[in-house]
Structure 1
Amino acid sequence: MSSRPLIIDCDPGVDDAIALLLALASADELDLFGITTVAGNVPLALTAANARRICQLAQRPDVPVYAGCPRPLLRSLVTAEDIHGSTGLGPGLLPEPTLPLQTQHAVAFLIEQLTTASTPITLATLGPLTNLAVALIQCPEIAQGIERVVMMGGALGPGNITPAAEFNIYVDPHAAKVVIDAGLPLTMLGLDVTHQVLTTPDRLAALEHLGTPVGTAAAALLRPYGQIDCDRHNLVAPPLHDPCVIAYLLRPDLFTGRPMRLAVETEGTLCLGRTVANAFPSPTTPANATVVETADAEGLYALLTERLGKL
């Protein structure tokens, strides 16, 4: 089988970093055209630098990194340094990047790639959807070049930044609405799934025991990550969000989901950024997304450990 053409849009972030490593370690299956970054977990300058740090760690200088939008469409930027630390990847864990940042804007890169692709491209979105929304607004024709959007975002149940909203959608709900309403083939992996995928001590030790620079760095990044989520959501170990998207592309058999009608709240205050999924679509409100509901966490961590062992 030929590898899947892929662009990853992200805001690294610890869990984004692990997702990028999983993708970079899976070159036989994922043909990564580029990484686009957006402001989210930390400001844009840091997300762009962190993506390059990860490519450098993985010894993949061939993968270009493009910086995108520094703020949401209509709102002020909300970040998550309380979860990811002031730099997004912890102080001093990875050296300053020497790989260059591409001069082309991420939105221009998306438009160029999606309008010239000979084969439709999959988009893995791991952060706020600002870059993709702006690209769709500037050039709606890019939809023809998109095979599928697989996004980490949203929740069927409680949120993780407000009682109603998940972080990625809350940061730029208006961008999420643009993407969800664009009629694209869309798969959502929300908190209901990612809160099943927990970094237990045994799973963390398996990464550390790889004995490689990547395994050691991944374990060091994950060790302090996510304790706030454990406390807030009464979880026995920290959840791992963004790698679920890459694992879904590699091993969809590890997940189950079903078609639903998906919408996002952009008008309210108490529920701003809330994803509303109707599990009973009808002819008047047809399904517009596949919403993933379960994950095989043991299989996912086995995949992650095996792949990171190749770097």
Structure 2
Amino acid sequence: MNRIPLLMDCDPGHDDAAALFMALGSGVFDLQGITTVPGNGLLPNVTENALRLVAFLGEEIPVVPGCVKPLAGECRPALSYHGATALDGVILPLSERGPLRENAVDFMAAKIREAEGEMVIAALGPLTNIAALLLSYPELKGKIKRLCLMGGSTSGGNITPAAEFNIWHDPEAAAIVFGSGLPITMCGLDVTEKMALRPEEIEEVRHSGRVGALCAQLFDYCQDTFGGNGRDLVVHDAVASAWLIKEGLFDTRRFYVEVDTGKSLSRGCTATYIRPFGVGCKEANIDVVVGGDRDGFARLFIDCIAKLG
């Protein structure tokens, strides 16, 4: 089977690590690079985390740092959730390899050209790098087969009442991406919060091997931070990986979505026209994942992690 060329743009991040493990364990992808973006942590931290995760896995995937801050405004990392390093709760050994000195946008552009229309991008953090790519290389828009992102919501946020964190962190970038005409799948809170892993499933992951043990440690930190031990755990970014691996598990619908870049409480909201006759509604532009087979997702996640040993 020919593997799908994939770029992963992320801000590791506990759930980013889970999404990375899942993508690699699936055997579906040829992961050609990891580009990093500030979100869950500052750029140096998330880049270091990506390097250490790749080293832990024994892979030689290039890690390339991207934009230092959002297109407009300053970084506001999610330290209250992911901790000071953005990957608190585990101590990973230092990587012997450093990041590529190349700019992430130029790196992505080169890989997209080489893939000749087959490149898929998983965007698991704020969309700063993706927007910068589209601004710098608009001619490559038609060569991206699919952008699958974790972000947004049709029904309320998790960082403000209206906005999901990844979109809120850089709404200007998100607005560029959502308005670009790219084939986009949005795995937002509507689906991620329905795909929570149960405690017994996390224990199965824990005992599946070396990678599963690390994954469960990461989940332990998330549970401890929010007093959620013994409860179900949402692993947001892994849902985007799962959609790319096995789209049939999910209920995906096409809507017109636009991003609020104003300064009000709704800044960063992904306004979704569920009813196509609404005032201001335009032609549907985003494939929005609204639900899916939770048990099927959990089984896929466990199996992918187990395959890594």
For Structure 1 versus Structure 2, the TM-score category normalised by the shorter chain is: over 0.9
Any conservation in 2 of the 1:209–1:215 contact (CA below 8 Å)? yes
More displaced 10-residue stretch of structure 1: 18-27 or 124-133: 18-27
Partner of 1:250: 245
Partner of 1:32: 31
Q: How far 1:237 sits from its partner (Å)?
A: 2.3
Selected match of 1:164 from 162, 165, 175? 162
TM-superposition CA deviations, 1:213-264 (whole Å, max 9, x none): 2111000001121566788xxx952211000011001111111021100100
Distance, in Å, in 2 between the alignment partners of 1:34 and 1:208 is 27
Distance, in Å, in 2 between the alignment partners of 1:22 and 1:142 is 28
Q: How far 1:105 sits from its partner (Å)?
A: 1.0
Quickly say closer, same or farther: Cα 1:242–1:4, change in 2 above 3 A. Answer: same
1:239 aligns with 2:234: yes
Selected match of 1:266 from 261, 264, 269? 261
Distance, in Å, in 1 between the alignment partners of 2:90 and 2:29 is 30
What is the 5 A alignment of 1:1-311? 1-27=1-27, 29-61=28-60, 63-210=61-208, 212-225=209-222, 236-281=231-276, 285-311=282-308
Structure 1 residue runs of 4 or more that deviate by more than 4 Å after TM superposition: 226-231
SS of 2:300's partner is: helix
Any conservation in 1 of the 2:243–2:250 contact (CA below 8 Å)? yes
SS of 2:156's partner is: coil
TM-score norm. by structure 1 comes to 0.93
Which residue identity lines up with residue 124 of structure 1 in the other structure? Answer: A
Any conservation in 1 of the 2:256–2:281 contact (CA below 8 Å)? no
Distance, in Å, in 2 between the alignment partners of 1:254 and 1:226 is 26
More displaced 10-residue stretch of structure 1: 1-10 or 178-187: 1-10
Distance, in Å, in 1 between the alignment partners of 2:251 and 2:307 is 27
Distance, in Å, in 2 between the alignment partners of 1:295 and 1:59 is 33
Quickly say closer, same or farther: Cα 1:134–1:226, change in 2 above 3 A. Answer: farther
Distance, in Å, in 2 between the alignment partners of 1:217 and 1:104 is 30
Any conservation in 1 of the 2:6–2:32 contact (CA below 8 Å)? yes
Which residue identity lines up with residue 79 of structure 1 in the other structure? Answer: P
RMSD after superposition: 1.8
Quickly say closer, same or farther: Cα 1:26–1:140, change in 2 above 3 A. Answer: same
Distance, in Å, in 2 between the alignment partners of 1:132 and 1:138 is 10
Any conservation in 1 of the 2:5–2:115 contact (CA below 8 Å)? no
TM-superposition CA deviations, 1:133-165 (whole Å, max 9, x none): 011111101102100111000011121111110
Which residue identity lines up with residue 82 of structure 2 in the other structure? Answer: H
Any conservation in 2 of the 1:203–1:301 contact (CA below 8 Å)? yes
Distance, in Å, in 2 between the alignment partners of 1:190 and 1:227 is 24
More displaced 10-residue stretch of structure 1: 102-111 or 125-134: 102-111
Distance, in Å, in 2 between the alignment partners of 1:51 and 1:264 is 28
Any conservation in 1 of the 2:273–2:281 contact (CA below 8 Å)? no
Q: How far 1:183 sits from its partner (Å)?
A: 0.6
Any conservation in 2 of the 1:115–1:144 contact (CA below 8 Å)? no
Which residue identity lines up with residue 103 of structure 2 in the other structure? Answer: H
Distance, in Å, in 1 between the alignment partners of 2:59 and 2:26 is 12
Any conservation in 2 of the 1:93–1:217 contact (CA below 8 Å)? no
Which residue identity lines up with residue 15 of structure 1 in the other structure? Answer: D
SS of 1:137's partner is: helix
More displaced 10-residue stretch of structure 1: 122-131 or 87-96: 87-96
Q: How far 1:167 sits from its partner (Å)?
A: 0.3
Quickly say closer, same or farther: Cα 1:226–1:182, change in 2 above 3 A. Answer: farther
Q: How far 1:97 sits from its partner (Å)?
A: 2.0
